[in-house]
Structure 1
């Protein structure tokens, strides 16, 4: 007998986190999320998202066996910032069964309706500031760090529930030497030009990390504020993310541009930690996963370019090209073999063109869907 259960206990949260490990058991591209990180993210009182918004998790059972999961998300900060009344679904995983999928969506939708929501968007976990988007093209390779992966049949299950495309997110791939290094060649000229305008570029200072994080958050919330689906991150949310990133942060790939002592742009790329996590069974660091993590860090040869943002008024001055030049130089020096720039909204012409100009090629596509309630 099939039934949907609203998650309320620690045991049910554990089942919610562990279900994908069983569903993707024999999938060579699946990367398990770290259990401890997912538990914190989903538990009120542990992650700052819950301080301003609400989440309800649901599990689908069939004769006592978990066959699906979904989260109904009411992001109050998103609705306030965008002057809208929308909800989200996230953490969606399901066996290839339309009845089970529809039951999950019905319960999530009913919960959102009860909150007065008029439409549902997703998948987002919890917003576009976290992992988001359904993979619809590019199933042949594992995801890079902090990117999603799912079964190809998910698209049909979601569309058959009445959802339609809202927007696509593009991931670009770079090979070992298949990139255009023009930005490296012109970097020094651009740097001198920027310096004549009072703009300097430097690595993030990890010794003053808290102050750096606050300055970068101001740029992040200003540079992306017009992007579809954007919601500013609170200080607590940004600090939480920065604390996690610090563990893998390489200052050669994290830079700040300043003018008159004020941060006006930043760039962030991180080693592809998924190359290690893919070997950590069921996302457990203990007892043996921690050794795989520590030993594997030095063997990572992939890089994900996560963010490159410039505040309005300082764009098209050459800051972006200097950031790319620095990243390419460090990429070469450290003998990385491949990189991904992700994700970019499909209608962000400026950024898509900039990446294509350095020979990035689109190789994965993610989709965010919407449906009226």
Structure 2
């Protein structure tokens, strides 16, 4: 007999975090999330999301065996900023069983309806600022840093439960020597042109990290404000994320465009830390995981181009090309073997076309789905 249990204590939360390890134990592409990071993410008082919003996590049991999990999410900032009345679901994992999936999704839907919300969108783990979407194309390898991964059957489970496409996301891949490095070769000329407008491209100053992060947050919130369902990050949320990113930050891949002291654009690529995390059993740093993390970081051979944005009024000046070119130069210098640019909106031709023109291969697609409740 299948049943749902609301997660309310530390032990249940641990079970919730650990369930994917069992579900994916035979999958060579599965990358376990770090336990302590997931625990903090889902704990009120730890993550700043809970200062303005709320969620409830649930486990599905078949007898004594855990067979699925889900989180129902009320993101008040999303609804206030977008003039919406949406609910979300995230952290969805399930065996290939429609009855279990329906039980989880219906339980989350009821929780959201009780909050007077009208729709259910997901998978979204809080907002599009965190890990979101369902992998629907490109199951042939592990995900890169901070990108989702799931079983191929998830899409059918959700569609059978009445969900339909809201928006698709893209991931592009570059491999060493298999891309157009024209922007890299033109960087000097492009930067000279930008200097006539008093715009310079520089690396982040790690010693002034907090000050730099504050300026980057302002650009981030302005540059992405027209993206579907975008929610500006609060100062606390951005600081929380920046603190995590700082641990794997390579200044050569964190670049700022600055005009007379004002940041008008930035690009961030991060080492693909999943090359290390995939080897850390059940996401535990102790007793051996921390050693692997510290000793193998320098062996990472790939990057994820995570963010590249320029504020309105400074676009189409060549700043984007300079940022991409500088990242390509560092990629070449470090003799890395692959890069992923992700994610981009499926319909964002202003971003997708330039990526394709420099040799980016569209190799993975993701989907956010929705349903009225």
TM bin, normalised by shorter chain, reads: over 0.9
User: Structure 2-normalised TM-score?
Assistant: 0.99
What corresponds to 2:62 in structure 1? 62
Deviation, 1:214, is 0.3
Deviation, 1:370, is 0.5
Separation in 1, partners of 2:125, 2:51:
16
What corresponds to 2:152 in structure 1? 152
Task: Specify the SS of the correspondent of 2:30.
Answer: coil
What corresponds to 2:78 in structure 1? 78
* 1:346 counterpart = 2:336: no
Separation in 1, partners of 2:91, 2:244:
20
Where does 1:34-45 land on structure 2 (aligned, <5 Å)? Answer: 34-45=34-45
Deviation, 1:259, is 1.1
- Deviation string, structure 1 residues 59-97 (Cα, Å, up to 9, x no partner): 000001100000000000000000000010000000010
Aligned-pair Cα RMSD in Å: 0.5
Separation in 1, partners of 2:160, 2:342:
28
What corresponds to 2:251 in structure 1? 251
Where does 1:353-364 land on structure 2 (aligned, <5 Å)? Answer: 353-364=353-364
Where does 1:264-343 land on structure 2 (aligned, <5 Å)? Answer: 264-343=264-343
Deviation, 1:176, is 1.1
Deviation, 1:140, is 0.6
Task: Specify the SS of the correspondent of 2:226.
Answer: coil
Task: Specify the SS of the correspondent of 2:286.
Answer: coil
Unaligned runs of 5+ in 2: none
Deviation, 1:151, is 0.3
What corresponds to 1:220 in structure 2? 220
Separation in 1, partners of 2:103, 2:337:
44
- Deviation string, structure 1 residues 281-335 (Cα, Å, up to 9, x no partner): 0000000111111111011001100000000000000001001111011001111
Separation in 2, partners of 1:194, 1:141:
40
Deviation, 1:266, is 0.5
Separation in 2, partners of 1:135, 1:189:
39
Task: Specify the SS of the correspondent of 2:215.
Answer: helix
Task: Specify the SS of the correspondent of 2:287.
Answer: coil
Where does 1:112-123 land on structure 2 (aligned, <5 Å)? Answer: 112-123=112-123
Separation in 2, partners of 1:259, 1:348:
26
Deviation, 1:186, is 1.2
Separation in 2, partners of 1:307, 1:105:
32
- Deviation string, structure 1 residues 30-74 (Cα, Å, up to 9, x no partner): 000000000000000000001100010010000011000000000
Separation in 1, partners of 2:52, 2:177:
45
Deviation, 1:260, is 1.9
Separation in 2, partners of 1:254, 1:158:
37
Unaligned runs of 5+ in 1: none
Separation in 2, partners of 1:259, 1:330:
23
Separation in 2, partners of 1:332, 1:247:
23
Give every structure 1 segment of 4 or more consecutive aligned residues whose post-TM-superposition deviation is greater than 4 Å. none
Task: Specify the SS of the correspondent of 2:145.
Answer: coil
- Deviation string, structure 1 residues 222-270 (Cα, Å, up to 9, x no partner): 0000000100000000000000000110000001111121111000000
Where does 1:116-155 land on structure 2 (aligned, <5 Å)? Answer: 116-155=116-155
